[in-house]
Structure 1
Amino acid sequence: MCRKIFEGKIREMNLTLADIKKLKGSIVFNDESFNSIKNVSIDSRKVQKGDLFFAIKGDNFDGHEFINSVLRKGAIGVVISKEHLSKFKNLKSFFVVVDDTILSLGELANIYRKKFKVKTIAITGSNGKTTTKEMIAKVLSQKFHVLKTEGNLNNHIGVPLTLFRLNKRHEVAVIEMGMNHSGELTRLCEIAEPDFGCITNIGHAHTEFFEGIEGIAKAKGEVFVYLARTNGFGIVNSDDKRVKLNSRKLINKLSFGFTGNADVKGKFIGLNSIGNPRVIFSYKNHSMSVDLKTVGRHSSYNAICAAAFGFKFGVPFRKIKAALESYSSFEKRMQVIKNDGLTILNDSYNANPSSMQAAFETLKLMNGFERKIAAVGDMLELGKESKKFHGELANYAADAKVDYLFCFGDLTKHTVHRARELNLKTFKFNSKKKLVEKINSVLIKNSILLIKGSRKMKMEEILESIKA
């Protein structure tokens, strides 16, 4: 019987006044007004009666501007930074002053996490974190009550908010962890205290903030460093040489891969007409074939990682197979859209060089179409290597035998330059309206269109204007 993946709000949290007073450098005011905490919130719009509100300064808003509003809504108290104390020193409600509200949010999340005997899994990597996390949660929910990260709330704010959703029924927590600077994963591990972890892969993402791929590898490897130090368990992608290198100090580990001598072995059989992979997974003396609903050969790695976790956690083979075969991709993540003779691969959620290469490889393997078209947007945060990586997109398009390559954004000028050297039919636009008009002009029946770009490019906006 499948256990539920619990996503709901906790009715009452086991957080005490003593827990609040443990926050480093905290000063508590009006503690006689303290009452039971029903939830921890950072969004003033969503505050409900009984919530403890952390005032966090973001890019667009400062939570300190909404203190009076959240208290009127019934928040039991607020956590503010010291620099704002003078504004709120006359508050009658319970409030706490700390040096840094974001750091204190993480501290309190760690205090809360320690109250539960829950097996916690950390998932990171350059590509496939969210899909892998979702697949793992689906597999493990066949046997356990599972908490998982919602969407991709995977940073120093998202991880604490996920942990605050723990309740006594949870047996496993699957926590996605992202980073774009060194040290961030160490901090997230200190907050979540994972017992298990996986690095899906290591590729060229956020290279603007690192000294090359080795810098990225070292930063991603912080998860395995933490697990080695705490006698944790690693699930290791042995096909990725940098992941494998990072796993050397792990005493407890299980490897997976499609090449070499992995513990969990995969065999790629092929893709069907809409790009869904068929694979065979083998572990010890057992094998199973799996027909995935995800798109692209690369999604087989997400699935074999989830299967490896299933094997480690004792989920029966038939239930692992059923979970993986019933999993469908999220919107904007290799999402297949069929529209009156047009097939769209909507992979617009995000992009980096590795995921772009995987997307074009998928397009290459999808045969039987009269015309292959790709619309790509800028890949951001690539720093000094941006020109090279954008140029390589044209190579991927040529290899996939793309008939038309459409580019959007300033950085894709490097894609266009290389594409013209390769005699590809290429067009570049800085207006999505003009981009869509040109795409519509070349669409014929039985075309396939790939759409992909970095999140800030919002390439999904062209979808509603595409005409089959």
Structure 2
Amino acid sequence: MNIIDFYNLYLNSNKVTIDSRKIDENDIFFAFSGENFNAATLAEDAIQKGASAVIVEDKNFENTAKNIFYVESTLVFLQELAKYHRDQLNIPIIALTGSNGKTTTKELIHAVLSQKFNVQYTFGNLNNHIGVPLTILSIKPEHEMAVVEMGANHQKEIELLCSIAKPNFGYITNFGKAHLEGFGGVEGVIKGKSELYDYLKSHDQFILINENDEIQVKKTEGYDLIIPFGRRDSEFYFEKIVENNCVGLLYKEVEALSNLTGEYNFTNLCAAASLGLYFGLEFPLIKKAIEEYTPTNMRSQIVKKGDKTLVLDTYNANPSSMKVSLENFNQFAGSKTIIIGDMLELGEESATEHSQILNLAQSLNFDQIITVGPNFKNAEADVTSFLTTEDLIEFLKENNLDSQNILLKASRGIALEKALEFIK
């Protein structure tokens, strides 16, 4: 199947999907197979559900009369289709990556820019070699710009994603201790994330930088097409405000207080506000976007439960984000309990990093420390420890947590949010 020939089918379709359960009328279904499942077997059913075309990588299921087309690789064809579509678009695309905060920043940027423009953006966490093409293919003629999140856990991944999205603007939230196993240490993280800078510089595109981040400044030194924020002499400068455990910013004597907890989110707010100002939004519109944005994605999310304040931050965790979460939570007024789960994908650094986080937790002002997962349990600290979230849930069924404030923080694989309903 030729990309150019297929493109007309795509243009006349509703959307592209890889989930056979979510096929609607006039969708294009890409049949991605797993190790133990041949998704091509779903092709006929997809057509019956109303799909306008199906892409399979098993020639035995090809039926061109029904618009079931064979390709050698569904992944490669999806990526090439996305590249071709990107080449037809004449809108700015903003790409962002980083060790921490990229999803929250993406959503804030979308919230701000949507006050003036029709903005498409990465849905959920579709930020990998499959998710980025799907995001690009979701951009319709009515969209005026797009925000594309890029995740990576090894070298050359951001480079690949840039070749698909071809961004005009880029931002790296930070360089932290995330996916150390895949990147090969912190230096590998810096090198891998900086592939976004490499693409933007080689294509004369714009880079948003936080001038308080020494690595960002060093990596963009000598490059002219930068949009700087952070310092008093930067193009955009904001002061931090914190009220009722929520963080906000002050710009030219106007306050914008968010619903996000954690002073670490201040930089995320600054990035979104800077892009808003760069694209010509008046600050009152930016203030409106910031104040109306409510996190519901298990990232710095405040949940009220009776007289308790819960901070739900269970979508991801690494040593960098865990450290700032604990230090931020330590500033909450009143009694405090932390429930922290294992940080995954740390490789040979795992034992050391988990011990250091426990040492930090014990040095802070917490009334109770509860850990979940084998890595924390193996650290053998003098804390309440459970091997799994299910074990924690059984404990919570029989025991109340007395603290006024409770933090839940863990890597996604621990599924710590399942314990939420059992906290009384």
TM over 0.5: yes
Question: TM-score band, normalised by the shorter chain?
Answer: over 0.9
Structure 1 residue 185 corresponds to structure 2 residue 158: yes
* Mapped partners of 1:121, 1:311: distance in 2: 15
Does the 8 A contact of 2:3 with 2:80 survive in 1? no
Which stretch shifts more, 151-160 or 329-338?
329-338
SS in 1 for 2:237: strand
**Relative to structure 1, is the Cα distance of residues 407 and 219 closer, same or farther in structure 2, using a 3 angstrom cutoff?**
same
Q: 1:279 matched to which residue of 2?
A: 249
Match of residue 130, structure 2, among 157, 180, 185? 157
* Mapped partners of 1:450, 1:240: distance in 2: 27
Match of residue 316, structure 1, among 282, 287, 302? 282
Q: How does 1:381-392 map to 2 (within 5 A)?
A: 381-392=345-356
* Mapped partners of 2:91, 2:140: distance in 1: 10
Q: 1:449 matched to which residue of 2?
A: 406
Describe the superposition over 1:112-135 as per-residue Cα deviations: whole angstroms up to 9, x where unpaired: 122221111001111111110111
Which amino acid in structure 1 is aligned with residue 273 of structure 2? A
Does the 8 A contact of 1:139 with 1:324 survive in 2? yes
Q: Which runs of 5+ in 1 are unaligned?
A: 1-15, 23-30, 421-425
Structure 1 residue 288 corresponds to structure 2 residue 254: yes
SS in 2 for 1:204: coil
Q: 2:109 matched to which residue of 1?
A: 136
* Mapped partners of 1:159, 1:170: distance in 2: 16
Structure 1 residue 173 corresponds to structure 2 residue 143: no
Describe the superposition over 1:366-390 as per-residue Cα deviations: whole angstroms up to 9, x where unpaired: 12x1x21111111100001111111
Q: 1:341 matched to which residue of 2?
A: 307
Q: How does 1:360-371 map to 2 (within 5 A)?
A: 360-367=326-333, 369=334, 371=335
* Mapped partners of 2:320, 2:287: distance in 1: 27
**Relative to structure 1, is the Cα distance of residues 249 and 152 closer, same or farther in structure 2, using a 3 angstrom cutoff?**
farther
Which amino acid in structure 1 is aligned with residue 243 of structure 2? N
Does the 8 A contact of 2:377 with 2:386 survive in 1? no
Describe the superposition over 1:412-451 as per-residue Cα deviations: whole angstroms up to 9, x where unpaired: 135x43x44xxxxx1111243542454563622x521111
* Mapped partners of 2:389, 2:219: distance in 1: 42
Match of residue 111, structure 1, among 81, 84, 88? 84
Q: 2:324 matched to which residue of 1?
A: 358
Does the 8 A contact of 1:54 with 1:80 survive in 2? yes
What is the TM-score of this pair, normalised by structure 2? 0.93
Describe the superposition over 1:249-308 as per-residue Cα deviations: whole angstroms up to 9, x where unpaired: 632011222x57533223223x333x1024324xxxx45332121111011111000011
**Relative to structure 1, is the Cα distance of residues 200 and 18 closer, same or farther in structure 2, using a 3 angstrom cutoff?**
closer
Structure 1 residue 46 corresponds to structure 2 residue 22: yes
Match of residue 374, structure 1, among 313, 330, 338? 338
Which amino acid in structure 1 is aligned with residue 31 of structure 2? A
Structure 1 residue 430 corresponds to structure 2 residue 387: yes
Which amino acid in structure 1 is aligned with residue 127 of structure 2? N
| Same amino acid, percent of matched pairs | 37
* Mapped partners of 1:443, 1:49: distance in 2: 49
SS in 2 for 1:365: coil
Q: 1:238 matched to which residue of 2?
A: 211
* Mapped partners of 2:265, 2:10: distance in 1: 48
Which amino acid in structure 1 is aligned with residue 421 of structure 2? E
Does the 8 A contact of 1:225 with 1:249 survive in 2? no
- Measure how far apart 1:338 and its partner are: 1.7
Does the 8 A contact of 2:96 with 2:102 survive in 1? yes
* Mapped partners of 2:80, 2:291: distance in 1: 38
**Relative to structure 1, is the Cα distance of residues 433 and 44 closer, same or farther in structure 2, using a 3 angstrom cutoff?**
closer
Q: 1:19 matched to which residue of 2?
A: 4
Does the 8 A contact of 1:377 with 1:412 survive in 2? yes
SS in 2 for 1:292: strand
* Mapped partners of 2:34, 2:232: distance in 1: 46
- Measure how far apart 1:99 and its partner are: 2.6
- Measure how far apart 1:147 and its partner are: 0.7
What is the TM-score of this pair, normalised by structure 1? 0.84
Does the 8 A contact of 1:217 with 1:243 survive in 2? no
* Mapped partners of 1:35, 1:359: distance in 2: 44
* Mapped partners of 2:357, 2:55: distance in 1: 47
Match of residue 262, structure 1, among 216, 222, 234? 234
* Mapped partners of 1:160, 1:72: distance in 2: 25
**Relative to structure 1, is the Cα distance of residues 36 and 311 closer, same or farther in structure 2, using a 3 angstrom cutoff?**
closer
Q: 1:65 matched to which residue of 2?
A: 41
Does the 8 A contact of 1:54 with 1:78 survive in 2? yes
Does the 8 A contact of 1:20 with 1:108 survive in 2? no
**Relative to structure 1, is the Cα distance of residues 254 and 101 closer, same or farther in structure 2, using a 3 angstrom cutoff?**
same
SS in 1 for 2:359: helix
**Relative to structure 1, is the Cα distance of residues 184 and 18 closer, same or farther in structure 2, using a 3 angstrom cutoff?**
closer
Q: 1:28 matched to which residue of 2?
A: none
Q: Which runs of 5+ in 2 are unaligned?
A: none
SS in 2 for 1:293: strand
Q: 1:300 matched to which residue of 2?
A: 266
Q: 1:26 matched to which residue of 2?
A: none
* Mapped partners of 2:10, 2:173: distance in 1: 43
The alignment covers a number of residue pairs equal to: 423
SS in 1 for 2:88: coil
- Measure how far apart 1:48 and its partner are: 2.5
* Mapped partners of 1:290, 1:240: distance in 2: 23
Structure 1 residue 212 corresponds to structure 2 residue 179: no
Structure 1 residue 37 corresponds to structure 2 residue 25: no
- Measure how far apart 1:199 and its partner are: 0.3
* Mapped partners of 1:36, 1:170: distance in 2: 16
* Mapped partners of 1:293, 1:340: distance in 2: 19
Does the 8 A contact of 2:303 with 2:311 survive in 1? yes
Which amino acid in structure 2 is aligned with residue 328 of structure 1? T
- Measure how far apart 1:62 and its partner are: 4.0
Q: 1:25 matched to which residue of 2?
A: none
Does the 8 A contact of 1:233 with 1:250 survive in 2? no
**Relative to structure 1, is the Cα distance of residues 34 and 403 closer, same or farther in structure 2, using a 3 angstrom cutoff?**
closer
